[in-house]
């Protein structure tokens, strides 16, 4: 163990010294005025900071509430990432009591460190369907958001990399739809898992329901295929902090990144049109309020919870709701914090006839230490990938299913899945019993109809907001989740699972011979989040009466302020959203460069 600790210290010591423009103390900032200020050094914010500072004439300040990602082992070693929620690197939010979840309030992690949620997420990289993007273009009236047009931004983001174990990837992806010229590393699995072959065999045995898809990121994701993750060829997480703020960028003399800087609000600097070019924040644990200003623009990239929270604190939101909580309203923009969407998940668990699952590692710290040693030695072994399986599924419910018959398809088109299936070669997130090996299959509802909100809990800008994703509030979502459970049960009915599955485990035991009502009750008791809050500061067409930002991401009725993060997505993509967030940030950077050219 001592040897391991020494190894860890050596592995982590050097990067701390290499950073030139990362400030730990506000007193070290060279100035209080910058061309651009980016609020939130998260997934989107770091992209904008990188792209704007390509122009040496622009000074950019990033204000990040959390700590640095440098040397944070669980944010580097992919398998350990699941220990980041409820840690020093998490905002530690909870939802309000969710009616649709039998009154449960659930933990709602958001990254609180450089890289934001890209530093704590499960690293799945999924672009969504072409329908998703074509619908964004349609509802915003901006064809620039269409699938074809955003390809250039996926390419600027993605740096396709060989997998950490250098295995042959022929037949696991389609090279024609990938880019090696981007900044953010994306790769296939770097360590084989016991269930890989069974999942691939399922695509042969049940090819109608679960066809094999060579590349789930080519715009037509339906089927089962090899997952792609934001992990580099050395088996390390690629976040917006390791990529867009990498060593070759962070040392730019025009880029300034201040950590431990929590923004409370924007300050109005001109009346007509209302202009907000100053930012108030506290830094480094002292309660003293600081102010910095932008000469050109403020870019709000605090995420789907942080961005509406800061807008509301600043008097930008629904006039009456602001008055009720004791905040002086400045701009009446009723949709700030409204229309929050998230993709609910439900897991099914089985005990399995195998010892080749990660349960063996989860319950044996000696073994876990050995696997970490392997990673430290040459970036190999089970820890080069996350706890998720190497393969993902994307499935549609037939439109003649009674849940959808006669209804509007909740998905944006016929090439869009209703469900994502995430297999795990072990038991998660249920507590692990002392013996046994397990399979978990998780289904995520990709196009929920339910919507929720982010609201202020008080006039104290540092108090956590009220987060209500409204999970399963719309009963059609509940029925869709019920059908999602049936799809998981069907998947393991393929003959290849016959000598593998021992039986349903734990709470999932009720699913044997269950009625629809019993499955719905199972869903209400166990459903959770896939951690994808979006839409709380939504884009809408220019001139629309609803929405928060125009298609160029400028805030409606306000000058000098853009929102660039997941909160602007009008609806969730049929995917995990980080790829979409990266695309939004890449395109926003072009908008800003053009506006100030």
Ligand X SMILES: *[C@@H]1O[C@H](CO)[C@@H](O)[C@H](O)[C@H]1NC(C)=O
Binding site for ligand FAD (CB under 6 A): 39-45, 63-66, 85, 109-112, 116-118, 120-124, 261-263, 301-304, 306, 310, 531-532, 565-566, 576-578, 581
Q: Looking at residues 465 to 484 of the shown chain, list those that interact with ligand X (rule: CB under 6 A).
A: 468, 470, 473
Q: Is 102 annotated as a binding residue?
A: no
Q: Is 337 annotated as a binding residue?
A: no
The two three-digit tokens of residue 38, written as one number: 């980016």
| 39, interface contact from ligand X, ligand FAD, none, CB < 5-8 Å by kind | ligand FAD
Q: Is 308 annotated as a binding residue?
A: no
Q: What distances in angstroms separate CA 218 from CA 124, 221, 402, 413, one per listed residue? A: 15, 7, 30, 15
| 573, interface contact from ligand FAD, ligand X, none, CB < 5-8 Å by kind | none
Contact 586, 43 (CB under 8 A): no
| 378, interface contact from ligand FAD, ligand X, none, CB < 5-8 Å by kind | ligand X
Q: What distances in angstroms separate CA 203 from CA 19, 214, 223, one per listed residue? A: 48, 11, 8
Neighbours of 493 (CB within 10 A): 13
Nearest Cα to 301, choosing from 62, 126, 53, 91?
62
Question: Please, what is the minimum distance in Å from the beta carbon of residue 419 to ligand X?
Answer: 22
Question: Please, what is the minimum distance in Å from the beta carbon of residue 34 to ligand X?
Answer: 17
| 306, interface contact from ligand FAD, ligand X, none, CB < 5-8 Å by kind | ligand FAD
Cα gap 391→200, rounded to integer Å: 8
Of 331 and 530, the one with the shorter C-beta distance to ligand FAD is: 530
Instruction: Give 276-285's long-range contacts (Cβ < 8 A, gap of 24+).
Output: 276/314, 276/316, 276/558, 276/560, 276/561, 277/560, 279/37, 279/39, 279/63, 281/63, 282/462, 283/25, 283/26, 283/258, 284/24, 284/25, 284/26, 284/260, 285/260
Cα gap 314→196, rounded to integer Å: 50
CA angle 131, 135, 140 (to 5 degrees): 160
According to CB under 6 A, which one of 33, 207, 546, 595 is a site residue for ligand X?
546
Cα gap 244→444, rounded to integer Å: 29
Q: Does 353 bind ligand X (CB under 6 A)?
A: yes
Nearest Cα to 336, choosing from 472, 465, 473?
465
Residue whose beta carbon is closest to ligand FAD = 42
Question: Please, what is the minimum distance in Å from the beta carbon of residue 383 to ligand X?
Answer: 13
Q: Which residues pair with 347 in a beta bridge?
A: 442
| 122, interface contact from ligand FAD, ligand X, none, CB < 5-8 Å by kind | ligand FAD
Q: Is 257 annotated as a binding residue?
A: no
Q: Which residues pair with 373 in a beta bridge?
A: none
The two three-digit tokens of residue 65, written as one number: 């509430």
Q: Is 578 annotated as a binding residue?
A: yes
Q: Does 378 bind ligand X (CB under 6 A)?
A: yes
Q: Does 32 bind ligand X (CB under 6 A)?
A: no
| 470, interface contact from ligand X, ligand FAD, none, CB < 5-8 Å by kind | ligand X
Angle at which helices 578-595 and 43-52 cross, to 10°: 30
Instruction: Return the range that interacts with ligand X (CB under 6 A); candidates 268-276, 365-373, 438-446, 525-533.
Output: 365-373
| 109, interface contact from ligand FAD, ligand X, none, CB < 5-8 Å by kind | ligand FAD
| 44, interface contact from ligand X, ligand FAD, none, CB < 5-8 Å by kind | ligand FAD
Q: 150: part of which helix (H) or strand (E)?
A: helix 147-157
According to CB under 6 A, which one of 106, 502, 541, 559 is a site residue for ligand X?
502
Q: Looking at residues 133 to 172 of the shown chain, list those that interact with ligand X (rule: CB under 6 A).
A: 165-166
Question: Please, what is the minimum distance in Å from the beta carbon of residue 563 to ligand FAD?
Answer: 10
Of 304 and 385, the one with the shorter C-beta distance to ligand FAD is: 304
Q: Is 213 annotated as a binding residue?
A: no
Residue 547: phi and psi, rounded to 5, are 90, 175
Contact 279, 266 (CB under 8 A): yes
| 403, interface contact from ligand X, ligand FAD, none, CB < 5-8 Å by kind | none
Question: Please, what is the minimum distance in Å from the beta carbon of residue 62 to ligand FAD?
Answer: 9
Question: Please, what is the minimum distance in Å from the beta carbon of residue 402 to ligand FAD?
Answer: 32
| Cα dihedral 389, 393, 397, 399 in deg (nearest 10) | 160
Nearest Cα to 33, choosing from 308, 274, 269?
269
According to CB under 6 A, which one of 193, 339, 385, 529 is a site residue for ligand X?
339
Q: Is 519 annotated as a binding residue?
A: no
Cis preceding-peptide flag for 74 (omega within 30 of 0): no
According to CB under 6 A, which one of 32, 33, 86, 320 is a site residue for ligand X?
86
Of 112 and 300, the one with the shorter C-beta distance to ligand X is: 112
Q: Looking at residues 199 to 258 of the shown chain, list those that interact with ligand X (rule: CB under 6 A).
A: 247-248, 251-253
The two three-digit tokens of residue 267, written as one number: 């300050």
| 65, interface contact from ligand X, ligand FAD, none, CB < 5-8 Å by kind | ligand FAD
Q: 249: part of which helix (H) or strand (E)?
A: helix 247-250
Of 310 and 327, the one with the shorter C-beta distance to ligand FAD is: 310
| 303, interface contact from ligand X, ligand FAD, none, CB < 5-8 Å by kind | ligand FAD
| 531, interface contact from ligand X, ligand FAD, none, CB < 5-8 Å by kind | ligand FAD
Cα gap 495→501, rounded to integer Å: 10
Cα gap 543→550, rounded to integer Å: 8
Q: Is 193 annotated as a binding residue?
A: no
CA angle 198, 199, 201 (to 5 degrees): 60
Q: Binding-site residue total for ligand X (CB under 6 A)?
A: 34
Neighbours of 203 (CB within 10 A): 19
Of 256 and 482, the one with the shorter C-beta distance to ligand FAD is: 256
Q: Does 338 bind ligand X (CB under 6 A)?
A: yes
Q: List CB contacts of 244: < 8 A, sequence separation 6 or more.
A: 46, 47, 49, 50, 183, 184
Q: Looking at residues 424 to 463 of the shown chain, list those that interact with ligand X (rule: CB under 6 A).
A: 452-453
For the annotated binding site for FAD, the residues are 121-124, 263, 566, 577-578
- What does the binding site for ligand X look like in residue numbers (CB under 6 A)? 86-88, 90, 92, 99, 112, 165-166, 247-248, 251-253, 335, 338-339, 353, 364, 366-367, 370, 378, 380, 452-453, 468, 470, 473, 499, 502, 512-513, 546
For the annotated binding site, the residues are 121-124, 263, 566, 577-578
């Amino acid at each position: 163990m001592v040897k391991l600790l020494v190894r860890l210290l050596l592995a982590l010591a050097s990067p701390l010294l290499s950073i030139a423009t990362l400030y730990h103390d506000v007193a070290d900032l060279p100035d209080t005025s910058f061309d651009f200020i980016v609020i939130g050094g998260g997934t989107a914010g770091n992209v904008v900071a990188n792209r704007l500072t390509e122009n040496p004439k622009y000074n950019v300040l990033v204000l990040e509430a959390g700590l640095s990602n440098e040397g944070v082992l669980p944010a580097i070693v992919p398998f350990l990432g699941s220990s980041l929620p409820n840690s020093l690197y998490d905002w530690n939010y909870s939802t309000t009591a969710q009616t649709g979840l039998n009154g449960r309030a659930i933990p709602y992690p958001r990254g609180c460190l450089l890289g934001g949620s890209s530093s704590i997420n499960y690293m799945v990289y999924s672009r969504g369907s072409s329908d998703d993007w074509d619908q964004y273009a349609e509802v915003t009236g901006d064809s620039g958001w269409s699938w074809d047009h955003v390809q250039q931004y996926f390419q600027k983001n993605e740096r396709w990399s060989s997998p950490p174990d250098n295995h042959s990837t022929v037949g696991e992806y389609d090279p024609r739809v990938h880019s090696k010229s981007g900044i953010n590393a994306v790769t296939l699995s770097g360590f084989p898992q016991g269930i890989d072959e069974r999942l691939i065999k399922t695509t042969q045995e049940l090819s109608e329901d679960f066809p094999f898809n060579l590349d789930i990121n080519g715009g037509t994701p339906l089927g089962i295929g090899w997952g792609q993750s934001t992990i580099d060829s050395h088996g390390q997480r690629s976040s917006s902090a390791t990529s867009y703020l990498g060593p070759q960028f962070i040392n730019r003399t025009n880029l300034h990144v201040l950590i431990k800087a929590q923004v409370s609000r924007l300050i109005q600097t001109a009346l007509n049109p209302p202009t907000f070019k100053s930012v108030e924040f506290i830094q480094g644990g002292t309660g003293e309020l600081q102010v910095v200003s932008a000469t050109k623009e403020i870019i709000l990239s605090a995420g789907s919870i942080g961005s509406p929270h800061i807008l509301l604190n600043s008097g930008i939101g629904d006039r009456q709701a602001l008055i009720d909580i004791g905040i002086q309203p400045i701009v009446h923009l009723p949709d700030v914090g409204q229309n929050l969407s998230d993709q609910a998940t439900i897991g099914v668990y089985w005990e399995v006839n195998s010892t080749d699952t990660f349960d063996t590692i989860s319950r044996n710290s000696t073994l876990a230490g050995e696997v970490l040693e392997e990673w430290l030695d040459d970036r190999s072994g089970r820890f080069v990938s996350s706890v998720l399986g190497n393969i993902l599924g994307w499935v549609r419910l037939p439109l003649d299913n009674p849940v959808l018959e006669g209804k509007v398809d909740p998905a944006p088109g016929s090439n869009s899945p209703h469900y994502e299936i995430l297999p795990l070669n072990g038991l998660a997130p249920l507590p692990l019993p002392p013996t046994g090996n397990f399979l978990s299959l998780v289904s995520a509802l990709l196009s929920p109809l339910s919507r929720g909100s982010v609201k202020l809990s008080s006039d104290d800008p540092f108090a956590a907001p009220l987060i209500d994703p409204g999970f399963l509030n719309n009963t059609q979502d509940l029925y869709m989740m019920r059908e999602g459970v049936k799809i998981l049960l069907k998947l393991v009915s393929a003959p290849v699972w016959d000598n593998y599955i021992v039986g349903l485990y734990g709470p999932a035991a009720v699913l044997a011979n269950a009625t629809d009502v019993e499955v719905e009750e199972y869903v209400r008791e166990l459903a959770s989040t896939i951690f994808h809050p979006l839409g709380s500061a939504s884009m809408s067409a220019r001139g629309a009466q609803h929405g928060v930002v125009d298609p160029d991401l400028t805030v409606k009725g306000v000058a000098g302020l853009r929102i660039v993060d997941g909160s602007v997505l009008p609806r969730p993509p049929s995917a995990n959203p980080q790829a979409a967030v990266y695309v939004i940030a890449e395109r926003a950077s072009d908008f800003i460069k053009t506006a100030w050219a």
